[in-house]
Structure 1
């Protein structure tokens, strides 16, 4: 932790700088001190940014590796191939079922035509007097 500098310490440092440096060179020294402090802050900021960037890059590399591992483990391509094969089998079975139904329909249709060609005999009308009582 950085120790805190209060108003009295700042006043003491100012008076000491005035005595040591002198009133003529004090503004020049303060300007140089301010520039030096600004450069230190900029260097610290850039240093912090570079560490943050390295951390983000490491996380991204790790995430990329995890995604690639998941792609390999999940077997999406294998599942897609299996799905396509199953779909083809279903289409094939459905086509065979439709063809079988068409064949059955054709058989039924021809059987109906054959039976309609043979005309059924009409039942003879009953006479009123022919009825027998049981």
Structure 2
């Protein structure tokens, strides 16, 4: 339809005020309103007549049948859409009873194996630490004990005297 803004309407009003005059301006607007109402009523009647003619000729029934024929449900597209919906993706499907089910993770067994391995590592580390402490203590004890004194008479200090 016509796309008139406020500025265009204001300009038309000012021109109409100058051309028609302030005395006849309300009469002109009233007449314009009546013609506009008649045009709208005629457009409404035309639309209603076209809809009635379409109803009589069965166009609505044909359109309804076309909508049914092209509906996603009738064509099986609703199953396709649900199959491609990856939000609730189930690779084996709920209705496949003979489909192989995925094996449950063996995390409990793996956890026990890891705990046993950790205990073995701790035991061997503790044994190695104990051996090292014993070796350090033996070395320290050997360093603190004085060396045995040798008898000077038995060992000649120099060449034999003649």
TM-score, structure 2 as length reference = 0.44
Distance of 1:94 and 1:54 partners within structure 2: 56
Distance of 1:91 and 1:119 partners within structure 2: 44
Report the equivalent of 1:70: 101
Distance of 2:123 and 2:149 partners within structure 1: 43
How many residues in Structure 1 have an aligned counterpart in Structure 2?
A: 95
Report the equivalent of 2:109: 82
Report the equivalent of 2:129: 102
Where in structure 2 are the equivalents of 1:1-134 lying within 5 Å? 28=53, 32-46=57-71, 48-50=72-74, 51-54=76-79, 63-65=92-94, 69-71=100-102, 74-76=103-105, 79-120=106-147
Cα deviations by residue, 1:49-95 (Å, 9 ceiling, x for unpaired): 253324665897773336x9433xx231xx21111011001110011
Query: Structure 1 pair 30/88, CA: closer, same or farther in 2 (3 Å)?
Result: closer
- Unaligned ranges ≥5, structure 2: 1-51, 151-156
Query: Structure 1 pair 31/121, CA: closer, same or farther in 2 (3 Å)?
Result: farther
- Unaligned ranges ≥5, structure 1: 1-26
Bigger relative contact order (CA 8 A; separation at least 6): 1
Bigger Rg over Cα: 2
Distance of 1:102 and 1:29 partners within structure 2: 99
SS of the residue corresponding to residue 70 of structure 2 reads helix
TM-score, structure 1 as length reference = 0.52
